[in-house]
């Protein structure tokens, strides 16, 4: 690979450099993924085939492989674990689409809209069970324990978010606690596994875990902003689901916190009845506040904190690509 920095190439250039560095490894990860999930039943294979159309850029396997390479070298265990974390992440997406009544993801019909909620729930379960079956084949049981613990935290975060639906008094600290579980934890364990199975020391492994945690928080804040601001035709996913489900995200928390008592009362009324006309009215309040700028600033701060963790690593192409990912963490279109 050419020893280049991704800085001026944009998000597509960054992904191209990652593919250049890990193309063969990512192909093998996909093979492991497919081999583990293949079924004797045609319908199951049909559903799995449809699912592969909206799986995205494989961020979590990429984080695991980059962490491994930056700390030493990629091994077969890393390839297996990359397939494992991709299964778990995909399972959460499939279940999220049910929870959010989402109809599209990456311009493709979700499993629940293409078939039904029962198929989605069972497919998510199928992915979870296969992930742990695959991880259990490694000589070390550490990966299973770490991934199991992280998956528990992901589910706790999702349950907490469901519990807090409609809670218009949700604080920023509570919001961050929720997204640290439901999104950041899996990114954190990917980087931790990459470092550990590359024989990195404890300090480096801890730094890589913190990198993944902060990066995941930045990504989720940006995703929540996308739900408020994004164009569905451009993003390829159902938007506005947070408002419909009365999930209070960072922009709205900031909006309520900074509004006058009179405006706050009206905003709470609109949030409690998220019809399309009321969402349009709410957008006017958002546009007249610093809620969007504040949330972007918070996302960028977490991205910067993630980047600082990489000081533990020696200079390498992989390290610089990890740095570049933090630059694009708040640009969720990639």
Confidence of residue 257 (pLDDT cuts 50, 70, 90): very high
86 in Cβ contact with 58 (< 8 Å): yes
pLDDT at 233 over 90: no
pLDDT at 217 over 70: yes
**What's the DSSP call for residue 220?**
H
CA 327 distance to own-chain centroid: 16
247: three-class secondary structure by DSSP: coil
Confidence of residue 13 (pLDDT cuts 50, 70, 90): confident
Q: Which helix (H) or strand (E) holds 96?
A: helix 76-99
pLDDT at 235 over 70: no
**What's the DSSP call for residue 314?**
P
46-96 pLDDT tens trace: 999 998 887 677 899 999 999 999 999 999 999 999 999 999 999 999 998
pLDDT at 1 over 80: no
**1.10.600.10, 3.40.50.2000, 1.10.10.10, 3.40.50.10470: CATH of 22-310:** 1.10.600.10
For the chain, give percent helix, strand, coil, nearest 5: 75, 0, 25
What's the CA gap between 334 and 12, in Å, rounded? 7
What are the C-alpha distances in Å from 157 to residues 32, 122, 253?
Answer: 29, 20, 18
Write down the pTM of the prediction.
Answer: 0.90
Regarding predicted confidence, which is higher, 326 or 275? Answer: 326
In a 13 Å sphere around the CA of 108, the CA atoms on its Cβ side amount to 14
Q: Residue 217: name the closest of 326, 311, 318, 323 by CA.
A: 326
137 burial (CB, 10 Å; 0-12 / 13-18 / 19+) is exposed
Could you tell me which residues come within 8 angstroms of residue 55 by beta carbon, excluding any fewer than 6 positions away?
A: 86, 90, 93, 106
pLDDT at 130 over 90: yes
184-196 pLDDT tens trace: 999 999 999 999 9
Indicate the range of 112-126, 226-240, 282-296 predicted with least confidence. 226-240
What's the CA gap between 241 and 113, in Å, rounded? 15
User: Sign of torsion, CA 188 67 96 138?
Assistant: negative
């Amino acid at each position: 690979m050419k020893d280049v920095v991704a800085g001026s190439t944009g998000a597509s250039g960054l992904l191209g450099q990652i593919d250049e560095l890990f193309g063969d490894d990512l192909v093998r990860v996909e093979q492991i993924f497919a081999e583990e999930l293949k079924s004797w039943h045609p319908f199951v294979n049909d559903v799995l085939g449809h699912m592969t159309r909206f799986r995205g850029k494989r961020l979590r396997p990429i984080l695991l492989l980059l962490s491994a390479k930056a700390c030493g070298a990629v091994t077969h265990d890393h390839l297996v674990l990359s397939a494992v974390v991709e299964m778990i992440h995909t399972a959460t997406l499939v279940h999220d689409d049910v929870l959010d009544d989402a109809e599209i993801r990456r311009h493709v019909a979700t499993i629940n809209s293409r078939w039904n909620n029962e198929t989605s729930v069972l497919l998510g379960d199928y992915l979870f069970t296969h992930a742990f079956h695959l991880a259990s084949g490694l000589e070390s049981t550490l990966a299973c324990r770490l991934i199991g613990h992280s998956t528990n935290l992901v589910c706790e975060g999702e349950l907490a978010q469901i519990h807090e639906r409609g809670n218009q008094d949700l604080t920023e600290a509570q919001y961050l606690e929720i997204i640290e579980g439901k999104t950041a934890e899996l990114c954190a364990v990917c980087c931790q596994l990459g470092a550990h199975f590359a024989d990195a020391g404890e300090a480096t492994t801890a730094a890589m875990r913190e990198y993944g945690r902060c990066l995941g928080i930045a990504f989720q804040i940006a995703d929540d902003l996308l739900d408020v601001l994004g164009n569905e035709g451009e993003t390829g996913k159902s938007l506005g689901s947070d408002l419909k489900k009365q999930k209070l995200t960072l922009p709205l928390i900031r909006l309520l916190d900074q509004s006058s008592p009179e405006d706050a009362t009206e905003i709470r009324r609109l949030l409690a009845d998220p019809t399309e006309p009321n969402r349009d009215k709410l957008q006017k309040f958002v546009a007249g506040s610093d809620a969007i700028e504040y949330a972007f600033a918070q996302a960028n701060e977490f991205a910067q904190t993630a980047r600082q963790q990489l000081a533990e690593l020696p200079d390498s192409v992989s390290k610089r690509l990890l740095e570049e990912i933090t630059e694009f963490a708040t640009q969720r279109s990639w």
